[in-house]
Amino acid sequence: MPPLPFRPAPDVAVLLNALLDGYERHAPGRPFVRGPRVRLDDLDLPGYASQVDPAPRLTANAQMQALANLGYVRLTWLPGEAGHLLDAVTLLPERAPDLFPWLERSPVAAQAAALAELLLGDRFRFTASDWRRTAVDHTLAQLKTGRSPAPFLLADPAFNRDLLTALVALDTVQEETPFRVFSVRTFNDSKAFEPLKGALATLARRHRPGWGELTPDEVLAELHLTPNPTLIHLVGPWRLVRGDGQLVDLDGFFPAVGVPAAMIAGLRRAAVDAGGVDRVVCVENLASFYELVRLEGEKLAAVCLWGNPAPAVRHLLALLTATLPADIPLQVWADLDYGGLNILAQLRKAISPRFLPYRMDAGTLEAHLRWARPLTASDRRHLHRLQGCASLAGQQDLLACMLERGIKLEQEAVTPLAGQPCGGSVVGRLPRTGDSEFTI
């Protein structure tokens, strides 16, 4: 069929694309009982509906009549408005394929075939047990059954190529790497990874076992991808042995010291001076970390988890548990919500069952009711699931209290006066003064 002798007016393009959407939604291989039909009142056609300038409507009417004369569509005019105001347009299915090139639009089937070819071309790069192979196979199955391949985009081949390239390039990321560095190394463009981050995190959350509950940022951190190099905040008499054997003593830094995550990830050994501390506390959030240090800083070692502990933090804690005397408590202080309890459960399962909750009990919740917030439906579902978690056997009273009262509590609300216990916790201590924070 030779190309049509005119370009589609804006309103005509909107109308025809709506008809092609209906055509492509039709089940493949199933015959049409009637062609796709759209009513003009259901579309946004500002030119056609203009009461000021009749030119767009006249142009659209002329083009649609020409298409009808050529056998592409059937027109339905409003009663008494024949040739003046269209009511609806019906596409003749057998002529639909000729409209795709005229509208510079690729059929969904062609887009799906191109994406499938792209994925099959790199599928061999991932082993059968690799979550990336699972992600690719799932996307291919979606395409085969005519379902959405999201987060891949049928209409954006360039995006799909870049996303697959990023998946392959994860093999080169063995330590914490800033987004822009990964982007330059992978695409020779420091900004090319930015539009891909969400899609990459979505694929990993869906197909990497155990990552379904992580936030996108936490997923990227698990992949060793971060906005910028991160620091792990520590306080207390830590003794860190680097991979080259050099000893780093942190006892002189107060109120805290930020140690690069890259250094932590390469440690050979981590310990605290048993004579200088009576406990080690892992704190979920940075503000509460500094409040803990300010109020209870003597004979305390602590680390800020920054939410779900990243790989470098888990490495540090695994090394610590191998050296920490059994009589020194290893505590976790987190929000009294699903996320905080999940952090406690993860640390117990992934590193050691010796992690104890700190200020995470029903008494603390009851004492701070004025700062509590209501549970969402999602919160309730997650908390009910935690009731069956073996790693939280000792937290059932807290879970029952949260569900019964329908509340949760952020740890920032729990700031006891120095020297006073909170919810059965260890008595606080007066802070030291005169020191300052340094970064190695």
What pLDDT is attached to residue 3? 65
| Amino acid in the structure at residue 147 | R
**Residue 386 DSSP SS3:** helix
pLDDT at 428: 32
Q: Please, how many CA atoms are within 13 Å of residue 362, restricted to the half-sphere of its CB?
A: 13
Q: Which residues contact 383 (CB under 8 A, 6 or more apart)?
A: 338, 341, 375, 399, 402, 403
- Phi, psi angle pair for 8, to nearest 5°: -65, 135
Residue 255 has phi, psi (to 5 degrees) of -80, -10
Residue 275's pLDDT is what?
85
- Residue-wise DSSP of 92-149: -GGGHHHHHHHTT---HHHHHHHHHHHHHHHGGGS-TT-HHHHHHHHHHHHHHTT---
Is residue 32 a contact partner of residue 54, using CB atoms and an 8 Å limit?
no
User: Taking the CB of residue 84, how many other CB atoms lie within 10 A of it?
Assistant: 12
Question: pLDDT tens digit string along 350-392?
Answer: 999 999 999 999 999 999 999 999 999 999 999 999 998 899 9
pLDDT along the chain (440 residues), means of 10: 78 93 77 86 89 93 95 94 93 91 88 95 96 97 90 92 97 94 96 96 95 91 93 95 92 89 94 90 94 86 92 95 94 95 94 94 93 94 91 92 95 65 35 35
pLDDT confidence of residue 29? 65
